[in-house]
Chain A
Amino acid sequence: MSSTSAAPPPAVMPPATAQPRRAALALIVKDALVIGAIALALAIPLVGFKTVDRGSTTLLETRFGPMLCGVSVIALGRLAFSLINAGYTRTVFTVAATLASAWPLAVILGAAPKGWLPLAWMSWLVALSLALRAAYVVWSERAAAGGNLAPGERMAATVQRLSAFIAPVLIAFAVAMPMLPLADQRWVDLGILVLTYIMLGWGLNVVVGLAGLLDLGYVAFYAVGAYSFAIFAKTFALNFWEALPIAGLLAATFGVLLGFPVLRLRGDYLAIVTLGFGEIVRVVLLNWSDLSNGPKGIGDIPRPSFFGMPFSAAPPAGVTSFHQWFSQHLWEVSFSPIQRAIYLYYIILALALLTNWFTLRIRKLPISLAWEALREDEIACRALGINPTSTKLTAFAIGAMFGGFAGAFFATRQGFISPESFNFMESAIILAIVVLGGMGTQIGVVIAAILLIGGPEWFRDLESYRMLAFGALMVLIMIWRPRGLLAFREPTLRLKPVSAKSP
């Protein structure tokens, strides 16, 4: 890039520069061929052959056609990628963008036979990402020429600046959503699901984002909340609002108990130990049948009631159900299951907003500054007299409490819980939401939860593709922006206010 800015390109290419250019192109082609060969070697055993069960025996099938096409797509993609880096940005962008916009058309028209569909999707993704990459390169060159931030940073900064405007709009939409004419049972259920994950993400964000403690067993607190809610509500006949604080409190206690011995471990050890605790909780729930009813799970968990009025078509004698009360005092409605769904929706919305409000407030307190300082440099904090264990413990306990609330909500919403709902993948999904959104940002969690939970919910059949994309996205975002997609953190405190743009 430095040589092009020094002198304008000559109108006629002299032979002296044509030679290196051809050599560079030869290198690019060679590199693409090498990548293709590696991809072929990787693909032959696992993609080329497929093991099929026929009764008790296993047979082998081959699928070399799609494999070879896939490998050539990868080699071509690598070629285009190197061409972008070599300066052929516009050409690649045009070709890739055309392909990316044409490919879904081909799929829709049925050009792709059944076994080739994943290949079609892969090619489309490759073309799309190449087009995006080319656009990104052009954009960042312009930004660099103008002395601005890199595009990723700028996007994150813009979103964060706008979040003061986005947040009220999102909240207003969330409040109004069940009342909109398009809201049917499916929409409200999806809203509940997304909000549950937003709440979990915000809860985990306190631990991972603010305090910098990588917790791979967050689902343990979710499970503790859900099970303690179910057991207390069933054994002592408590209603939702009475059992909810108990669930949160128990989860927080659990967080302190687990956290106390392990929080002096270093970051990655801590991650593995929390993962171990998450699995221990699941295995104990699976085997301690007296407490948790084992793998059969706990059913008939009481559903929440509206000030003592249940949501049911035929309430027991002497109890007014919600729709009867509503008909008496406001206007005539008949019973419908969506009433309970809408009520649950507002409960989780309130819980999630409570979590958010709590986090935003606590960030102004010294404890949050201590968290952030610990995240950045533990040894310096120790030297300054911050007690790392108790500081981390508060973050752990608060995160655990919100996990417990969410778990209690999950239990009352499902009416049935079993240990299988609380496996490691659940922890990984919550972590992915926090990480992808940008550790420490509140709006990032919302966007990531909507994208990762809400979007794929429409493609339930593609469950394993969803997890595949999850994993790939986690890797890619870590490479591109190791602090998360929307992470752009202004320091909370500054010694001296800086001027808007220093020269």
Chain B
Amino acid sequence: MAYFLQQLINGLTLGSMFGLIAIGYTMVYGIIGMINFAHGDIFMIGGFIAIIAFMTLGLAGITWMPLALLCILILAMAFTALHGWTVERIAYRPLRGSNRLAPLISAIGMSIFLQNYVQLLQGARNKALPPVIHGSIELMDVDGFTVQLGYLQIVIMLLTVVLMIGLTLLITRTSLGRQQRACEQDMKMASLLGVDVDRTIALTFVMGAGLAAVAGLVWLMYYGVIDFFVGFMAGIKAFTAAVLGGIGSLPGAMLGGILIGLIDTFWAGYFSSDYKDVATFAILVLVLIFRPTGLLGKSDVEKV
């Protein structure tokens, strides 16, 4: 029981991160129907910008943790969002309205480019960050096994909840959100009604990249290391989460993220960590075959 509870806490933490990345996939898929294969690498870039921001602030002498974390959060989100915007502008916008596979191939190219770009600039080795938030609450103690809830885990989950609430308000209450929903339903009609479609799509990428940057920052703090290849596997798992939840649906992405995080953790905790990636891929394949709309997605009929 205690072991189960501990795995649950760890899984929820991991799931929050996957959910944050999955939002980027699902928003982009919802609005332009493409798989942004480079999104995992945007997440990785977010982590790298965060580690550089950490060290710069350390050099600048800002050591009061809440302030430093806020600065890093803002810096990482801003710079990563700029990367997301640039990727869309360079690699995807010129291909709008082209055949279906061209943007995907372009996205794969972008992903390879970004990985090697960061590897060339920052080196191939793991970048380590000393733990920033220490300590934990001891929830219970059963037969010598202590269930711990780390302060960092609390921060991660709280941050995710706050961002989710903010995003939901943005989508449902603001004019930008209205424009996004309009583009998602019918892009041509939205543009006839005066919605700047290009700008809306670009802002979707910016929002997705901003959330991925948060995921990169908390990933860096949680695991303490980051390398240029981390975006590949995390990206695929987050994509699986988006598909599982129903691609195009925001609550679905979060739900899928948490489910994938839980499956990942429980699989590693109860079976073996060797095959945990296989478990994720198997879920991806099974969901796509048997329920392509996911748990919360709308069905989508392909017409001529």
A residues apposed to B, CB below 8 Å = 38, 41-42, 44-47, 49-53, 56-60, 118, 212, 214, 216, 261-262, 265-269, 271-273, 275-277, 279-280, 283-284, 286-287, 379-380, 424-425, 428, 431-432, 435, 464-465, 467-468, 470-475, 478-479, 482-483
Q: Within 8 Å CB of A51, what residues of B?
A: 48, 51-52, 55, 122-123, 127
| Binary CB contact string for chain B from 100 to 129 against chain A (1 if under 8 A, 0 otherwise) | 111111101111111111111111111111
Question: Which of B112, B123, B128, B275 has the most C-beta atoms of chain A within 10 angstroms of its own C-beta?
Answer: B112
Nearest CB of chain B from residue A374's CB, rounded to whole Å:
13
Listed stretches B1-9, B79-87, B154-162; interface member: B79-87
Check: B208 CB closer than 8 A to any chain A CB.
Answer: no
Check: B248 CB closer than 8 A to any chain A CB.
Answer: no
User: Are A262 and B289 in touch, CB under 8 angstroms?
Assistant: yes
User: Are A468 and B120 in touch, CB under 8 angstroms?
Assistant: yes
CB-CB contacts below 8 Å: B126-145 with A: 126-130
Point out the residue from A38, A53, A261, A286 that lies within 8 Å of B128, measured CB to CB. A53
Listed stretches B168-176, B177-185, B194-202, B280-288; interface member: B280-288
Q: Which residue of B lies closest to A478 (CB)?
A: B106
Question: Which of A56, A271, A286 has the most C-beta atoms of chain B within 10 angstroms of its own C-beta?
Answer: A271
User: Are B116 and A275 in touch, CB under 8 angstroms?
Assistant: no
User: Are B55 and A266 in touch, CB under 8 angstroms?
Assistant: no
Taking chain A's interface residues, is the majority helix, strand, or loop, or is none over half, making it mixed?
A: helix
User: Are A468 and B113 in touch, CB under 8 angstroms?
Assistant: yes
Check: B90 CB closer than 8 A to any chain A CB.
Answer: yes
Nearest CB of chain A from residue B301's CB, rounded to whole Å:
11
Check: B218 CB closer than 8 A to any chain A CB.
Answer: no
Check: B190 CB closer than 8 A to any chain A CB.
Answer: no
Point out the residue from A276, A284, A464, A483 that lies within 8 Å of B285, measured CB to CB. A276
User: Are A60 and B284 in touch, CB under 8 angstroms?
Assistant: no
User: Are A60 and B56 in touch, CB under 8 angstroms?
Assistant: yes
CA distance A360 to B282 in the complex (A): 36
Q: Known pairs A60-B55, A266-B302. 8 more at Cβ < 8 A? A: A45-B49, A269-B288, A279-B277, A279-B281, A379-B304, A475-B106, A482-B95, A482-B98
User: Are A471 and B110 in touch, CB under 8 angstroms?
Assistant: yes
User: Are B302 and A379 in touch, CB under 8 angstroms?
Assistant: yes
Point out the residue from B59, B83, B105, B124 that lies within 8 Å of A435, measured CB to CB. B105
Check: B274 CB closer than 8 A to any chain A CB.
Answer: yes
CA distance A213 to B124 in the complex (A): 33
Q: Within 8 Å CB of A275, what residues of B?
A: 236
Q: Within 8 Å CB of B105, what residues of A?
A: 214, 431, 435, 474, 478
Check: B71 CB closer than 8 A to any chain A CB.
Answer: no
Check: B239 CB closer than 8 A to any chain A CB.
Answer: yes
Q: Within 8 Å CB of B285, what residues of A?
A: 261-262, 273, 276-277
Q: Which residue of A lies closest to B120 (CB)?
A: A464
User: Are B59 and A280 in touch, CB under 8 angstroms?
Assistant: no
CA distance A31 to B277 in the complex (A): 46
Q: Which residue of B lies closest to A56 (CB)?
A: B128
Point out the residue from A50, A261, A266, A432 that lies within 8 Å of B122, measured CB to CB. A50
Q: Within 8 Å CB of A472, what residues of B?
A: 109, 113
Q: Within 8 Å CB of A280, what residues of B?
A: 277-278, 281-282
User: Are A58 and B127 in touch, CB under 8 angstroms?
Assistant: yes
CA distance A265 to B300 in the complex (A): 13
CA distance A435 to B99 in the complex (A): 14
User: Are B109 and A470 in touch, CB under 8 angstroms?
Assistant: yes
Check: B232 CB closer than 8 A to any chain A CB.
Answer: yes
User: Are B94 and A45 in touch, CB under 8 angstroms?
Assistant: no
CA distance A367 to B95 in the complex (A): 31
26 A-B interface contacts by CB (under 8 A): A45-B79, A46-B45, A53-B123, A53-B125, A56-B128, A57-B128, A59-B55, A214-B101, A214-B104, A261-B289, A262-B285, A262-B289, A268-B101, A272-B236, A272-B284, A276-B236, A276-B284, A280-B278, A380-B304, A432-B109, A467-B112, A468-B113, A478-B91, A482-B99, A482-B102, A483-B99
Q: Within 8 Å CB of A473, what residues of B?
A: 109
Nearest CB of chain A from residue B30's CB, rounded to whole Å:
14
CA distance A25 to B83 in the complex (A): 28
Q: Within 8 Å CB of A431, what residues of B?
A: 105, 108
Q: Within 8 Å CB of B110, what residues of A?
A: 471, 475
